[in-house]
Amino acid sequence: MKRILLPALFSLNFFAQAQQAPVPPATPQYRPGYHFSPAAHWMNDPNGMVYYQGTYHLFFQYYPDGMTWGPMHWGHATSTDLTSWKEQAIALFPDKLGWIFSGSAVIDANNTAGFGKNAMVAIFTHHNDPEEKKKTNKHQYQSLAYSLDAGKTWKKYEGNPVLPNPGIQDFRDPKVSWNEVAKKWVMTLATKDRITFYSSPNLKSWTKESEFGEKLGAHGGVWECPDLFPLTLNGQTHWVLLVNLNPGGPNSGSGTQYFIGSFDGHKFTPLNDKTKWADYGPDDYAGVTWANTGARKIFLGWMSNWDYANQVPTSPWRNAMTLPRELGLRQVGSEIYLTSQPVKEVAKIVQPATTLKDVKATATAQDLSTKLNFGGDRYALKMSTAQLKDFALVLGNAAGEELRIGYDASAKQYFIDRTKAGPTAFSPKFAGRHVTPRLATAPAADLALYVDATSVELFADGGLSVATELFFPTKAFTTLKLESAGGLTVQELTYSKLAGPNAKPVN
């Protein structure tokens, strides 16, 4: 949960005045079709993600009185298929203990907390703004709320907070899960420049177990929104620790790093000290996984960046979530990496594909628009090659704007260049060419792009290299060109339109 720094005179009156500002003209052309975005107002971190009785619950940081960050609530949306979302009533409102910052939710199947069997329990950070102004470093603490009707209504625990602040300025974003081996709840908490693990038998009384990361990983900014979960590779269980970081991401601003190691219920031990990133693009942050999904680990991130999240030119809402992504592990040489791919449920919105085979690209750009029947702004584009070389896919429009996506063989990097992809004046930090290292070593490669109005998500080499990027063209991109100075042969190039509840009708 990002804490925005505001002038010393900041108060709730600031937001009362801000919400009276005229709402910019609506931008329906920028509304995503198969990614979640709220109908209106501000949204950031995904929170409390939990699966229960066939429904995926997504809670999120929400300010219902404006289009920029404000006193945080928990918004709520639900889905049965991870592609179509229904926005629900606000779940948690600020109270006398503070604003409702980020956190997680669990299903208490054994009624350890005493709220009721299978109670849905939210564990979140209360942020006490008046206390912060006193500079006691005790303004953030962890609290509980519970629902006995599958997330429809919520009641806050009368004994809040359940984990007071020992005097740490940034003490937030609890991600809680049941540890079956230790038979206890484990809380993974962001504590300024490190992660602190706590345990509890009942979600109410917490014991500190250990700390991790003070001198490991990237430290360009404060550590936030962690997650801890097991994944299996070749029959062996490894633990993955996600740590979101702001600033200090791989392409400026916020980003999501991860560590792979072991966890014994008390302490996390990494395999090595190498810094790794779950997504190298500038626009995936605060990502965590759904609870109660068994061995399947499904990740969702906030599709923006704190460098410009308050300024992106959408209205009457700001910001969206990434595609839900299935996580896995892959070994390359002696190194183990996290992989992510769009969840299998995305297949249900894929329309009939147009496929080209053995496309030979040269330094002269080849226009594939007509051959692919290319058009629209919500689609998947996939390509494979037996020998990866330099190339660029160029999306263009009648306004002369273009988005370039490709691979630089000499640097061994995929890239997305949005420098000329539409207006960038809303932030000096927005325009740019952003790179993602290729982690695969085989000569053959595959690339999948998922485009949805103003975003592209790149998944290369089976999800080893991933990047998420926003862009805001004045007109939809209607042409697709392919160029390659090295003479790339594309074995197969596939274009499919994607449907979605907010999407324009598929022609």
Whether 319 and 356 map to the same domain: the answer is no
Tell whether 283 is covered by a domain.
yes
> Does any domain span residue 155?
yes
* 506 found inside a domain: no
Residue pair 301/468 in contact (Cβ under 8 Å)? The answer is yes
328 and 416, same structural domain? no
Which of 20-29, 90-99, 194-203, 407-416 shows the lowest per-residue confidence on average (mean pLDDT)?
20-29
| Coil, strand or helix at 13 | helix
Domain range for 457 is: 350-497
Q: Specify if 104 maps to a domain.
A: yes
Mean pLDDT of 501-505: 47
Give the pLDDT of residue 261. 98
Q: Which pLDDT band holds residue 169 (cuts at 50, 70, 90)?
A: very high
- Specify whether 317 is located in the same domain as 370: no
Which of 342, 367, 394 is at the close of a domain?
Answer: 342
Strand order from edge to edge, sheet including 194-200:
171-179, 184-191, 194-200, 207-212
Predicted confidence (pLDDT) at residue 504 exceeds the cutoff of 70: no
CA dihedral 411, 241, 188, 297 (to 10 degrees): 110
pLDDT number for residue 22: 76
Residues 307, 287 share a domain: yes
- 320 and 394 in a common domain: no
Residue 203 per-residue DSSP state: S
Is 123 a residue whose pLDDT tops 90?
A: yes
pLDDT by residue (tens digit) across 242-284?
999 999 999 989 999 999 999 999 999 999 999 999 999 999 9
pLDDT confidence tier of residue 4, bands split at 50, 70 and 90: very low
Q: Would you state the pLDDT for residue 345?
A: 97
- The three-state DSSP-derived secondary structure of 438-478 is CCCCCCCEEEEEEEECCEEEEEECCCCEEEEEECCCCCCCC
**pLDDT band, residue 34 (cuts 50/70/90):** very high
Rounded mean pLDDT, 50-64: 98
Final residue in a domain of this structure, among 277, 311, 342 = 342
In a domain, 3, yes or no: no
Residues 335 and 363 in one domain: no
- Portion of the chain with pLDDT greater than 70, in percent: 94
CATH number of the domain bearing residue 291: 2.115.10.20
Structure tokens given for 410: 């000499």
Q: Are residues 284 and 389 in the same domain?
A: no
Least confident among 15-29, 80-94, 264-278, 429-443: 15-29
pLDDT confidence of residue 501: 67
In a domain, 463, yes or no: yes
Q: Are residues 306 and 360 in the same domain?
A: no
281 and 390, same domain (yes or no): no
Average pLDDT, the chain: 94
User: What is the number of domains present in the chain?
Assistant: 2
pLDDT of residue 442: 97
Length of the chain: 507
In a domain, 35, yes or no: yes
Q: Is the pLDDT of residue 149 over 50?
A: yes
Average pLDDT over residues 358-369: 96
Assess whether 402 and 335 both reside in one domain: no
Both 162 and 38 in one domain: the answer is yes
The residues annotated as belonging to the active site are 45
Q: Of the candidates 292, 316, 342, which is a domain's last residue?
A: 342
Query: Would residue 505 count as lying in a domain?
Result: no
Give yes or no: residues 335 and 355 share one domain.
no
